[in-house]
Chains A and B, each alone.
Chain A
Amino acid sequence: MAGVRARSVFTIAVTIAIALMLTIYPLPDWAQPYRPQWPLMVLAYWSMALPLRVGVFAGWVTGLLTDVITGALLGHHALGYALAIYVVLAVHRRLRLYPWWQQAAAVGGVLGLERLVSFLVIGATTGEAPTWQYWLSPLVGTLLWPWAFVILRDVRRKFRVR
């Protein structure tokens, strides 16, 4: 049914839009490195729950939007998101069955992978290496994952996203 599809795509788009806003939401300077990769966390949830709706392409486009909204080079986040979602798709059945802590650890690995790709892109394009605080972000994302998961699952059920 077309209505279900439109409603699902719309709901998913809204959650991604909120994640993009959180990406640029002003934080005090000391809190900057702790900002988790919100768009990737949201994408990871949807591609785990609905792998036929949200795949590599959705990840790539969201990455491009992240590049534009943060003023990064085009392709910077797109590359990492596409690869990370590829990994999530490959293991999405196992991810669904994991207990919550194991799932958080696995998603943490995916977040870390995106961070590593982004690290390589920064190195290749500017010739500089970010400080160690750069790696705090996937850690915070891992710790927040159980809550993000519960919230997004409730969103999925409430709006019957399929």
Chain B
Amino acid sequence: MFEQGPSTTARALLAVILSIVLLGVDQRMNHLEGVRAALATVTSPLVYLASTPARIIDSVSETFSSRNQLEEQNRALKEENRKLRGRMLLFLAMEEENIRLRGQLGASLKLGDRVSLAEIASVDLDPYHQQVAINRGSMTGVFPGQAVVDANAVMGQVTHVSPFTATVLLITDSRHSLPVRVLRNGLRTIALGTGQIDRLELPYVLPNADIRVGDLLVTSGLGGHFPSDYPVAQVVAVSTSQSGLFGSIIAKPLANLDRAREVMLVWSMDAGMDPAQPEPEPDTAPVQAESPADTGES
């Protein structure tokens, strides 16, 4: 095919240089999203095909699950629904009150978040990073940096987007850091991923800081990527015996990072957030929170 043209060695050299340039640029994030998205239009059908057997097994086992199991599940879900509705009533009343009080203080309104469901594609990505693929992409308004949560807590953020799929970097990846706040006393710090699925580290806390085992960490919203006040992790170990300036604090993520199948993508409506983010299209059914929004100033 290429009888003419540069020699094999020259081509190999060119490939090596190009690869190293790409690596250098890609590590500094975001400049190559266009290239990646273009290549991903080729690979996303492959992702879909590779996850098909797992999907078929799932739907088959659902079809053949017994009537008893279904009734049992139905009962449990109804009960949960009743409980959640009860709590939701309380929540709505409190939200109303909160917005009113914030209005009086002249503070910025927190308008609530829109969320949209996505499913984790059953494919294995690069095993040396903690990341998952989801079955929603830029066609449904997913954007890089978007927060991803499950029913319990924050899972991670979107890093790469193609039209129909996206890659989510989990909060436990060693490249990930997340601004958090201790719910009990508002102490702000940063939670770093460790590369282990059940472990976060809080290296920047002074040894005499008021933080205890069992403390709940929530997002502080300071980084700008994550909406504030979502649960993140629970502190499981505090050791101040370390020599050096900072203590060593370990927290356990509350999200089911290794077992979750369904995740939620969050479009934050916070006043301070980037206004240019794409909105989810109406037909992607944002499941929650048209909070009583238009109360005037923002």
Contacts and interface: CB of A to CB of B under 8 A. Distances in A.
B124 A82 contact: no
A69 B129 contact: no
A78 B22 contact: yes
Interface residues of B, number: 47
A53 B36 CA distance: 25
A89 B8 contact: yes
Contact of A52 (B3, B21, B23, B122): B3
A78 B128 contact: no
B43 A74 contact: no
Contacts of A53: 1
A53 B20 CA distance: 25
Nearest to A60: B15
A70 B128 CA distance: 10
B110 interface: no
A20 B23 contact: no
Contacts of B15: 56-57, 59-60, 78-79, 82-83, 86
A25 B123 contact: yes
Contacts of B20: 75, 79
Given A25-B123, A26-B124, A55-B2, A75 B26 contact: yes
Contact of A70 (B9, B125, B159): B125
Interface in B35-79: 35-36, 39-40, 42-43, 46-47, 49-51, 54
A70 to B, nearest CB: 4
B43 A65 contact: yes
Contact of B123 (A24, A76, A124): A24
Interface residues on A, range: 35 or more
B172 interface: no
Contact of B11 (A17, A57, A78, A126): A57
B8 A74 contact: no
B187 interface: no
A69 B125 CA distance: 7
Interface string A71-108: 11111101100110010011000000000000000000
B157 interface: no
Contacts of B3: 52
Contacts of A68: 36, 39-40, 42-43, 160
Contact of A71 (B9, B54, B125): B125
A123 to B, nearest CB: 11
A contact patch SS: helix
A79 B124 contact: no
A32 B128 CA distance: 11
Contacts of B160: 68, 71
A130 interface: yes
Contact of A73 (B16, B27, B42, B122): B27
B234 interface: no
Interface of B: 1-3, 8-9, 11-12, 15-16, 18-23, 25-27, 32, 35-36, 39-40, 42-43, 46-47, 49-51, 54, 122-129, 131, 133, 159-160, 167, 174-175, 195
12 contacts: A17-B46, A21-B46, A24-B125, A25-B50, A55-B2, A73-B22, A73-B27, A74-B23, A74-B35, A82-B19, A83-B12, A125-B27
In the complex, the 6 A-B pairs of residues with the closest C-beta atoms, listed nearest first: A75-B22, A79-B19, A82-B15, A86-B12, A75-B19, A75-B23
Given A65-B43, A69-B43, A78-B18, 16 more contacts: A21-B50, A24-B123, A24-B124, A24-B125, A32-B124, A55-B2, A56-B11, A59-B15, A69-B40, A71-B129, A71-B159, A71-B167, A74-B35, A75-B18, A75-B21, A83-B16
